[in-house]
Structure 1
Amino acid sequence: MSNNKLNTHPIHTTPPQNDVSNLPPSDAERFKRESNFLRGTIAKDLENGITGGFNSDNSQLIRLHGMYQQDDRDIRAQRAEQKLEPLINMMLRCRLPGGIITPKQWLAIDKFATQETWYGSIRLTTRQTFQFHGIFKRDLKSAHQLLHKIGLDSIATAGDVNRNVLCTSNPIESGVHQQAYAWASKISEHLLPKTRAYIEIWLDGKKLDTPDEEPILSSNYLPRKFKTTVVIPPLNDVDVHANDLNFVAIAEHGQLIGFNVLVGGGLAMTHGDKTTYPRKADDFGFIAVSDALTFAEAIVTTQRDWGNRSNRKNAKTKYTLERVGTENFKKEVELRAGMAFLPSKPYQFTARGDRIGWVKGIDDNWHLTLFIENGRLLDYVDKPLKTGVAKIAQIHQGDFRLTANQNLIVARVPASQKAEIEAIARQHGLIDESFSVQRQNSMACVSFPTCPLAMAEAERFLPDFITIIDGIMDKNNLSDDYIILRVTGCPNGCGRAMLAEIGLVGKAPGRYNLYLGGNREGTRIPRLYKENITVDEILTCIEQLIAKWSMQRNKNEGFGDFVIRTQVIAPVVNSAIDFYL
């Protein structure tokens, strides 16, 4: 069945069982409703030079324009003693579907980060884009206008909308990747907010007399953030089970024929609240490639209408599926799409990590994947990483691809330029053979000092922690092997620790919850092993378990599979039922 006609208005169907539409809405619904399609009084706040921040409603609304209001928590107490307001600044996240950016664009953002931000860095994120940290309010317009000038924007990279659409950074299967990337871009554009607020406020666009309309998102936008990916098996580098909507590319003879659609994944939870939990996505079935936008819209509008607008902790798509039933949600999607899902096509995920170093694509071009620890590009004393990437950008004729593992691919390099680019990378510390395979398969969120939600260190903690883990691996003759290890400073899921073989989730300064039992493919959620323990206690646990893994593992058995097989911990089968057992 196929029908390319898109629904442009809500379909009023029978409310689902366990309907929550009559419950009192959360305050977020109020300020979205009163915002006049995301305008609020942001423009007026920009003129207020007394404070470096925005008022409470506007500080939330700017998220839907791609920004978070933050402050430097390292100096918060010092400034309070001086009777000063916190050093309020903004994090701005670019919209970059599929993570592809040109060298010319890169040089422009590099210059802005150096000259106009407090921290001077570029942060590559797990959402396959980059962030500026430390933009003061007075410089926000120039940041947005710079992005616009080079063909980019930050629309809908945060807040209750469909966020930056991910796509597998596959440098080898170039033909299929190009097709998949094209659909990632189309899906991103189709699901964007249609309000002109961004253009009016940040680009000084002319206000029009015609009213705004949001045929897909509605004037109240979505109940909660919504994340979408396009993934090319066998590489699960985008972690499909961390996302609300996933299009698993199915190719035949080098041509993309369609997608298996996975719905309802998500990793965020709240400490102490057992109504919140990480959840894997459900496989709804196969669709033809030409029907991707129809189904994307149908899934988003179903979540828009059926999602929980009363309790934000239970507002994500994963909770909607648990509340109304996966089959009921799927049938509603089919009704809105005007066609049914077909049986899923077979596929398999075998790995998640990026292939660090040079690989040759089917188009005879070369691709260099650079490991960027924690995604932080900055010039360090012994490793001027940020300058190195800029120097590559000055001569590179292909493109850059940001990966969902916080790394950077110098893509489409002709053989004639390979040696020159490698020399620059080595001179600036972008190629470093001393980095272990364990370090390359470890990841952390930003956390302190900029994230207001951080409870414990993550990015600044991970490098030294991995050095100790490297020592343990070497001691057990495992220096050529690895464990998927991730650290997040809070339980909101940005570092995707809830799909790791070892996951640390911040509980308080110097204390974490330790989770075990994910797998290398990213298809199993780990379970809590020890709660609220110190780093020394964590290392004691890990050292004992790695020693057992080394001596008792089956051939090529991953750490996560080992701890499940040997009953160190029970597998999570259905997280809505057994995650807390």
Structure 2
Amino acid sequence: MTSILEEIDRSRDVSQPLDKLGLDETMKANSDQLRGTIAAGLVEELTAAVPGNDIKLMKFHGLYQQDDRDIRDERRWQKLEPAYTFMARVRLPGGVCTPSQWLKLDELGRAFAGNTLRLTTRQTFQLHRVRKQNLRATIQGLRDVLLDTKAACGDDARGVMCSVNPLLSELHAEVYALAKAASDHAIPRTGAYREIWYGEEQTQSSGPEEPLYGRTYMPRKFKIGFVIPPSNDIDVYAQDLGFIAIAARGRLEGFNVAIGGGMGRTDQAPKTYPRLADVIGFVAADKVLGVCDAVMQVQRDYGDRVDRGHARFKYTIDDRGLDWIKAEIEARLGFSLAPARSYQFTTNGDPIGWTRGEDGKEHCTLFIENGRVIGTVMDGLRALARIHKGTFRVTPNQNLIIADIAPKARPDIEGVMKEFGLDRLNQGSGLRLNSMACVALPTCGLAMAESERYLPDLVGKIEKILATHHLENEPITIRMTGCPNGCARPYIGEIALTGRAPGKYNLYLGGGFHGQRLNKMVLENVGEAAILDLLGKVIGQFAKERLPDERFGDFAIRAGLVAEVKEGRHFND
């Protein structure tokens, strides 16, 4: 075992003993570069699940084993195993998808995923309820349109995000190309994916199969994103590594580099907390991939490999100190970062409705509530994909842009939208159009409360409060998750709820409208009545006392309703 331990411990602090590694680290080291026994488990007919550690290894392949929790108790009473199925998450850098890819995803969703698709908070698709025997067909179907699920989950660089501002056509194209290059550069190199899912033969390599990741990959997941001010749609401060585009007269000059963001935390564990990324300097665009390597290497070599709850990059930075981490990154780069350049964010929402880009093409952003593509919405988007000649862009807010529409094609697009009622999707309040939820129950095994299925109803009740104060058009960000892990980035919402138990939530207020500030908990483990009672009082006070153009989250801080959280380590104070 010494050679493995030496490999993962190179350049790391010798204060962490070599013989004290977490079980997951040992599991990864012994997995034969993520192969495990997955192939054998797929043909095991006695169970709908996969055995042992293969459940964890399959995350690196973009797959989560789940079960239908709505019927879990019923099946237990019947002495049946849980209703196991899988979630497949697509790797889709920057959320850009062609019509042919959309049609294939629609086909797979109807055939294998319960007649639905999910648009995620990281600009991609999830297929839920896929049976084990249909996994290979699903993944091979994705390959037919040049898509895959590699590294969509697991301890690796997750899907790379990118701003989708359709107004900045040339700049978006340039930044998107870098985001895609970063995604292709940072994914694992192991042949396990091709062998297990495509049936290819294993080939021998003359060098290490994983030159960046080694045999133990990253200590935890690692998230990368590219953002184009003034829109912070990707919530760049929530990324482990963020690139903030700096442009002059529409021309890309380079990127400010931000490190150390992360949303996950655990209730009743005060040493866990969300953290916003710090901007540490500026680099030219041609240095982006080198920065990705250097930052990931630092986290690979110094991240906690004993305590997974303390293994994200944010904790590595806070433990070592930002200056130390920056110096280590620069040492690996071989040069110093330039001083950060000025920029400004004004929103993290989407431009709902029709816009025209600088290249003259039309774009229509559709509000897809909580990313649920189902029923007539699914039918309508399939009909659009059959006639659309441009692209689709999944936004970081779970919405969808029908992009790159030639002006002469707009009437046909509008005709299909009207036929299927898609033109009515955007007729929501400012709160609803800025809402976001994770999937949660019934499929997510981590969920403790409803989210996706409940938030629309809760928003409707809050809308009634807003209407009494003539605030129904006020844009307010609201985020909900079924657990504290933060998939919908709740801890930067102006209003946020995280699940504690069925029907019980923590309520947070005071996040920044453009993602620049963490919020603060105001109620713990409460039900709907308490939530609505407090929000009713706060919204009433906001209506009476707000300053001109003051945002709801800013008001909550100024009015002393919650204390401002200036640093993640003080989130739980």
TM-score between both structures, scaled by the size of structure 1: 0.95
- After TM superposition, list the pairs within 5 Å mapping 1:322-361 onto structure 2: 322-361=318-357
Q: What is the aligned partner in structure 2 of residue 419 from structure 1?
A: 411
Aligned to 2:153: 158
Query: Contact 2:8 / 2:215 at 8 angstroms: preserved in 1?
Result: no
The 5 A counterparts of 1:1-12 are: none
Q: Does the CA contact (< 8 Å) of 1:11 and 1:336 recur in 2?
A: no
Which residue type is aligned with residue 58 of structure 1? D
Deviations, residues 309-356 of structure 1 (Å, cap 9, x unaligned) = 000000000000001111111101111111110000100110011011
Superposition deviation, residue 210 in structure 1 = 2.9
Displacement after TM superposition at 1:402 (Å): 0.4
CA distance in 2, matches of 1:482, 1:499: 15
Distance 2:481 2:161 in 1: 20
Q: How does 1:381-530 map to 2 (within 5 A)?
A: 384-432=376-424, 433-530=426-523
Q: CA shift at 1:23, angstroms?
A: 6.6
Alignment map for 1:24-423 (pairs within 5 Å): 24-117=20-113, 119-210=114-205, 213-379=209-375, 384-423=376-415
* 2:8–2:216 Cα contact (<8 Å) kept: no
The 2-side partners of 1:227 and 1:56 are apart by 27
Deviation at 1:83, TM superposition (A): 1.6
Give SS of 1:112's match.
helix
AA of the residue aligned to 2:202: K
SS of residue matched to 2:70: helix
Structure-2 separation of matches of 1:316 and 1:135: 30
Structure 1 counterpart of 2:209, which letter?
E
Equivalent pairs, count: 565
Runs of 4+ in 1 over 4 A off after TM superposition: 10-16
Instruction: Verify the 8 A CA contact 1:21 1:306 in the aligned structure 2.
Output: no
Q: CA deviation at 1:435?
A: 1.6
SS in structure 2 at match of 1:437:
coil
Deviation of 1:403 after TM superposition, in Å, equals 0.4
Check whether the contact 1:260–1:283 (CA below 8 A) recurs between aligned residues: yes
CA 1:285–1:19 in 2, change beyond 3 Å: closer, same or farther? Answer: farther
Shift of 1:440: 0.5
Shift of 1:112: 1.2
User: What CA distance in whole angstroms lies between the structure 2 residues aligned with 1:426 and 1:164?
Assistant: 33
How far does the alpha carbon of each residue in 1:431-488 deviate from its partner, in whole angstroms, 9 at most, with x for none? 2153222111011100000000000100000111111111111101111212111111
Do the aligned partners of residues 580 and 198 (structure 1) sit closer, same or farther apart at CA in structure 2, a change above 3 Å counting? same
Distance 2:80 2:565 in 1: 48
Secondary structure (helix, strand or coil) at the match of 1:401 reads: strand
* Kept after mapping to 1: 8 A contact 2:8/2:301: no
1:372 Cα offset (Å): 0.3
Match of 1:579 in 2: 571
Q: CA deviation at 1:429?
A: 2.5
Q: 1:492 is paired with a residue of what secondary structure?
A: coil
How many angstroms does 1:424 deviate by? 1.3
One-letter code of the match for 1:263?
I
Match of 1:3 in 2: none
Distance in 1 between the 2:216 and 2:81 partners? Answer: 32
What is the TM-score of this pair, normalised by structure 2? 0.97
Identity, % of aligned pairs? Answer: 44
> Aligned letter for 2:145?
I
Secondary structure, counterpart of 1:271 in structure 2: coil
3-state SS, counterpart of residue 73 of structure 1: coil
Shift of 1:11: 12
For 1:92 and 1:13, locate their aligned partners in 2 and report how far apart those are by CA, in whole Å.
Answer: 34
- Look up the match of 1:4: none
Amino acid at match of 1:573: K
Q: Helix, strand or coil: the match of 1:424?
A: helix
**Does the CA-based 8 Å contact 1:97-1:167 persist in structure 2?**
yes
Matched residues in 2 for 1:240 and 1:421: separation? 32
Structure 2 distance, partners of 1:303, 1:430, is: 44
CA displacement 1:35-85 (0-9 Å, x = unmatched): 000000000101101100111200000000000000010011111122211
Note closer, same or farther for the CA distance 1:11–1:291 as it changes in structure 2 (3 Å cut). Answer: farther
Q: Does 1:558 align with 2:551?
A: yes
Distance 1:321 1:431 in 2: 46
For the 8 Å contact 1:372–1:430, the answer to whether it is kept is no
Q: Displacement, 1:254?
A: 1.8
Counterpart in the other structure of 2:3: none
Check the 8 A contact 2:10/2:301 in 1, yes or no: no
Cα shift at 1:209: 3.0
Q: Distance between the aligned counterparts of 2:67 and 2:540, measured in 1?
A: 42
Q: Distance in 2 between matches of 1:12 and 1:86?
A: 39
Deviations along 1:78-101, one digit per CA (max 9) or x if unpaired, are 111222111100000000000001
Cα 1:45–1:542 shift into 2, 3 Å: same
SS of structure 2 residue aligned to 1:24:
coil
> How far off its partner does 1:13 sit?
7.8
Tell me which residue corresponds to 1:544.
537
User: 1:409 offset after TM fit, Å?
Assistant: 0.4
Q: Is the 8 A contact 2:8 2:214 kept in 1?
A: no
Partner residue, 2:4? none
Task: Tell me the CA shift for residue 26 of structure 1.
Answer: 1.1
